[in-house]
Amino acid sequence: MVSKETGDVYSTNEPQIAFNSRIAFCLNMHNEAVKVLRFPPNSHKESAEKRRERLQQEEELAKDV
């Protein structure tokens, strides 16, 4: 029985490509998570209903004074 001679896996660029794709995936996931957590969509905008309620409360306070 003759076995096949083992070759040096690291002589090719396949491990480097696999490592690079894993790192790129992790970095993309991290960057997307940071963007989502940093700026929730429209959280800084006041809704029309809340704005009306706030203005109504301000008018009532102004009438009381």
Q: Burial, 24: exposed, middle or buried (Cβ in 10 Å; 0-12, 13-18, 19+)?
A: exposed
Residue 32 forms part of a structural domain: yes
Nearest CA among 48, 46, 28 for reference residue 36: 28
Structural domain range at position 29? 12-41
Residue 22 forms part of a structural domain: yes
Structural domain count, the chain: 1
Our CA angle for 18, 16, 35, nearest 5°, is: 60
**What pLDDT is stored for residue 44 in this prediction?**
65
**What pLDDT is stored for residue 32 in this prediction?**
93
- Sequential pLDDT tens for the chain (65 residues): 777 877 787 888 999 999 999 999 999 999 999 988 887 666 667 778 888 898 899 998 888 87
Residue 1 forms part of a structural domain: no
| pTM for this prediction | 0.49
